[in-house]
Structure 1
């Protein structure tokens, strides 16, 4: 019974849940980035279609936002793929740090910081890049051929859940503290 309780204490902990979420999202971004490298034509055409705004609602007040320069599209595409690989690398590092933090008495500060960085990078890409710039500036939401708004929202929500979980207070010794502690000092 003691071994079962110890297993449940570790496997059912916030740390284990965050480790699993970090691992799955790391794998997801790694697959996305690799797919963008192995099938660049499909995905680059999608970026070009969003930037060109050819299949969206046309109005002179916003049509000037369109970008048709293939070099700019290629640079944006490469930057997106590099960012996706970076998210994957940070979250793989976070997963390793979480696995180490599952040991009794282990500190989780590095795991918290890496997870927070990785999921913040995902928020920047999907809320900032895809939903704000792609969705609103280039009117992706109205694009008849390429509308990645739903996928961007999905990625933003996973990252947001990860950020919420990673910043919850863990009462165990050695856990990173979030927010302002009594006495006015930051908890990290």
Structure 2
């Protein structure tokens, strides 16, 4: 059904918009979220008796490198999702084979977005750097919300489309 194709295209565009706004915010207000990355990596607000503090990275250069890598991945997620949404939109009336082929860029963008928030924030930030222990700098709930939303769109999009009636 064509409405399903429209829904998939709109869902990918919604993730593109979200990723664009996140990247834009990080670029135009660099210092605010840089402080977040810096505190997570320094592990200066986790439980005082945590024995994982040896994992802390205190180098401002590395803080900037990590933050720039995050912004680059968020930006690439946005670009891939926008391009993917465009490719889906231009194939709405095409055959099932063409529409299914048009999904590849969007799937790449959604997968990258999933990896940014699940691996970058949940796994590395949350578990390696113990971000979940911080009352002030805990981004785990937000990251979870983001990557679950992206994952649901990815699952929805990946469902094979049949010929429209």
Question: Fold conserved (TM > 0.5)?
Answer: yes
The question of whether the paired residues in 1 share the 8 Å contact of 2:9 and 2:85 is answered with yes
Q: Per residue, is there more helix in 1 or in 2?
A: 2
Is 1:29 equivalent to 2:19 in the alignment? yes
Extract unaligned runs of 5+ from structure 2.
Answer: none
Q: 1-side partners of 2:31 and 2:95: how far apart?
A: 49
The question of whether the paired residues in 2 share the 8 Å contact of 1:141 and 1:149 is answered with yes
Give the superposed CA RMSD: 1.5
Tell me the residue number matched to 2:59: 69
Extract unaligned runs of 5+ from structure 1.
Answer: 1-8, 174-188
Consecutive aligned runs of 4 or more in structure 1 exceeding 4 Å deviation: none
Q: 1-side partners of 2:64 and 2:16: how far apart?
A: 25
Rg larger in structure? 1
Tell me the residue number matched to 2:139: 148
Of the two structures, which has the highest relative contact order with CA contacts closer than 8 Å and spacing of 6 or more?
A: 2
Aligned length: 163
Tell me the residue number matched to 2:106: 115
The question of whether the paired residues in 1 share the 8 Å contact of 2:99 and 2:161 is answered with no
Cα distance, 1:136 vs structure 2: 0.3
Cα distance, 1:105 vs structure 2: 2.8
Tell me the residue number matched to 1:162: 153
**Structure-to-structure mapping, 1:35-114, within 5 angstroms:** 35-59=25-49, 61-105=51-95, 107-114=98-105
